[in-house]
A = this chain, B = another copy of it.
Amino acid sequence: MAAQGAAALSLRAIARDMGMTAPALYRYFQSRDDLVTALILDAFNALADTLEAARDTQPEDNPAARLLATLNAYRDWALAHPADFTLIFGTPIPGYEAPRELTIPAAVRNYVALGTAIAGAMQRGVLVPPSEYSQFPPSIQAALESLRVDNHYDVPLSVLYLTVVILTQMHGLVTLELFGHTGPAVGDTAEFYRFEMGNMLRRMGLQMGNH
């Protein structure tokens, strides 16, 4: 039920993709917007599943490897599922408003997937973030607190904040690459990602001893 291939998001195109006729979809979705919502939820969940699986590929006693595996999986998934990535992180669909009560929990799963890896690394003393990450502005603190409570995600606020920051930086590299802006500049985008994610984690206080 994933709209693979490029993009061209349209009810008719999706029906075609599935070997059906457009009206047939109305047996399963009330409208195009309902279809879109379902696809968005699927995409968020598929990404979260992928991140979790990649993270858990690595043993608990190697938290740096778990972190790196999670970051790499993000890019790999985006490149492998450009339509899904675009659907959730690309230009908003004009006239479509996502139902937040459904999309936010699905999106939060991705924060949790990465946050778990970060928390593990911090607990084992492999990740020692700079001091600014325990003293960030109160307005942000409040928002993260309610995010944590609303989603029953029991984790220190500093971990949550660090998660958002790392996700954001990682996302910058991936969107720019997927939408064709990184290639012309740095050439080897895979190497650039690998190298910069390493740099970022090191700047964030990751100790990289045992590889």
Contacts and interface: CB of A to CB of B under 8 A. Distances in A.
Contact of A168 (B86, B132, B173): B173
A90 interface: yes
Nearest to A136: B195
Interface in A128-146: 130, 132, 136-137, 139-140, 142-144
B90 A139 contact: no
A104 interface: yes
Interface in A48-103: 86, 89-92, 94, 100
A111 B98 CA distance: 34
A interface secondary structure, majority: helix
A107 B180 CA distance: 12
A94 B171 CA distance: 22
Nearest to A165: B196
A111 B185 contact: yes
Given A195-B137, A196-B165, A199-B132, A142 B187 contact: yes
Interface of A: 6-8, 86, 89-92, 94, 100, 104, 107, 111, 130, 132, 136-137, 139-140, 142-144, 147, 164-165, 168-173, 175-176, 179-182, 184-188, 191-192, 195-196, 199, 202-203
